[in-house]
Chains A and B, each alone.
Chain A
Amino acid sequence: MNTQTPYRVLVTKVGLDGHDRGSRIVAAYLRDAGMEVVYTPPWQSVDQVVRLANDEDVDLVGVSSLSTDHLIVPDLMQALRKAALEHVPVVVGGIVPDTEHALLFDAGVSAIFGPGTARDTIVNTVRQLAAAARDALENPFT
C-alpha cells in the first residue's frame, strides 16, 4: 500500500524571515518527484506547524531557513514529540552554520540541506525518510 499513494510532505518556514524562494524551489522539486506538497507561507509558529503536520497527516516536515530561524527547530522537535508526532521526520534546508549542525541533529533533525545541495540528494533523502516514517507508522490505531 505504501508504494501506491504519493508521499505527503509539508514545506514551511517558521519564525520571522520571509525569504521563501528556497522553499518554493524545493516544493517544486518534490512535486516533480511525485510527492504531494502541502505548502505554507513563511511566518508559521511552532504550534501551527505541529497542527499542520497532524491535520494534513504528512510523512515528513521540511523547514526552510535563511536567517537564524533554524534555531527554532529544536522547539519544533519537542512540540512534535508532545503531539505524538515523533515519527514524522524533519529536514532543514537553507543557511545553517556548520557549527550549529550538531545542535539540530541532537534535537532529532534527520537531514540538513545547505546551499548547493543537488536536487537528487534532496529528493532521494526526502523519499527515503518519508518511506521509513510511513512504514514505522503502519496502523497506529488498529
Chain B
Amino acid sequence: MLLDALMAGDRRALGRAITLAETGGDRAAELGRQIREHTGNARVIGVTGPPGAGKSTLTNRLIGALRAGGQSVAVLAVDPSSPISGGAILGDRLRMTSHTDDDDVFIRSLAARGHLGGLTASTPAVIDILDAGGYQQVILETVGTGQSEVEVGEIADIRVVVCTPGMGDDIQAMKAGLFEIADILVVNKSDQDGVDQTVRHLESMLSLRGPEHTRAVIVPTTATKGDGIDDLLNAIDRCSTILNPNERRRDRTRRLLAGRAAELLREHLLRHDSERLDTACRAYENGERSLEQSARDLLKLEYP
C-alpha cells in the first residue's frame, strides 16, 4: 500500500515513508527492498562545509536554478541532535521558504540522532525513497562539518564543499579531509574581503594533487545575492558527465554495506552480546590481551 501510494506521487505517503525509514526496523527494511528496482535515476548533490558557511542559502539558490531548468528537486537537510537531550532544532529550511509552495520541491529536515559523519544513519534509505518517488535531483545538505566529516563523499554523486574567505592560511587548505572529497569547491560570501587569497590557497592545494585525483573546480559564489549560482550549476552538470556514475555507485554500495554492517555489529555487541563483550573487556583490563587482540577475539578474527 505504502509503496503504491509512494509510486503514485502521493505526498503524504512520501512524508510517512521517510519517517518509517528513519525509525528503521523490519517494515522499513522491507520497503527499502521493494523500492530498490525503482531507484537509480536521481542525481544526488552533496553540499557540505563548516557551520555558517552558507550551505542552506546556497541550497536554496540551487533549488531555484534546478527548478528553472524544469527539474524536480528534493532536499534532505541534516541538523545535529543534542548529545544530552536527544532533541534538535531543525532550522535549515528557514532559508528555503521561497520554495515551500512549489509542488515539485520536497524538503525534509533530518536530525543526526547521534550518527557521526555529517548525515544520518537512514540517509541512504531516505534517498532511495525520494528517488523512487520520482525526484530527479536530490540535494543532501550535511550538518555543519569540521575537517573530517566526509561521509557525504560516500553517498553523493557530486560533492560540493562550501567554504568562505578568511578561513585560515594555506596550510589549512592542505590538510587532509573535507576538501579532499570535493568535486566542486565553493568559496561562498565572495563579496567579502580575502576571496582572492582563499581561491589562491585552494588552487595551490589542488595543484599539488597527483594525477589520480579528479581535479576539483573552484566556484566563487555569493548565495545571498544569487551570484555565481549559474556557474555552480554548470560545474555540477560538467562533473556529472565527467565522472563515471556507475562505477562510483558500485564502489559506494560496497562501502555503504561495510559501514552499515559495522554499525549493526557495534549495536549488537553493546546491546545483545554483553557477555562476550564483558569477557573480552576483562581480558584487556587484566593485561592478558591488548585492545587490538581483545577486539579481534570478540570478532573471532584471525590476524592477517
Contacts and interface: CB of A to CB of B under 8 A. Distances in A.
Interface of A: 1, 4-6, 8, 27-28, 30-41, 44-45, 47-48, 51-52, 54-57, 83-85, 139-142
Interface residues of B, number: 35
B18 A33 contact: no
Closest 6 CB pairs of A and B: A141-B2, A31-B87, A57-B15, A34-B86, A34-B85, A57-B19
A54 B17 CA distance: 11
A57 B113 CA distance: 17
A72 to B, nearest CB: 16
A83 B12 CA distance: 9
Contacts of A84: 12
B101 A51 contact: yes
Interface of B: 1-2, 5, 11-16, 18-19, 22-23, 25, 27, 81-82, 85-91, 93-94, 97, 100-101, 106-109, 111, 113
Contacts of A44: 97, 100
A33 B84 CA distance: 10
Nearest to A139: B27
Given A37-B87, A54-B12, A141-B16, A32 B82 contact: yes
Nearest to A40: B94
B93 A32 contact: no
A39 B94 contact: yes
Given A6-B113, A142-B27, A33 B11 contact: no
Contacts of B100: 44, 48, 51-52
A60 B94 CA distance: 18
Q: Which of A8, A48, A54, A57 has the most CB of B within 10 A?
A: A57
Contacts of B86: 6, 34
A37 B81 CA distance: 10
Given A36-B111, A38-B93, 12 more contacts: A4-B23, A5-B23, A27-B89, A33-B85, A36-B90, A36-B109, A38-B109, A44-B97, A51-B100, A54-B11, A56-B108, A141-B1
A142 B86 CA distance: 29
A55 B87 contact: no
A33 B16 CA distance: 23
A51 B2 CA distance: 19
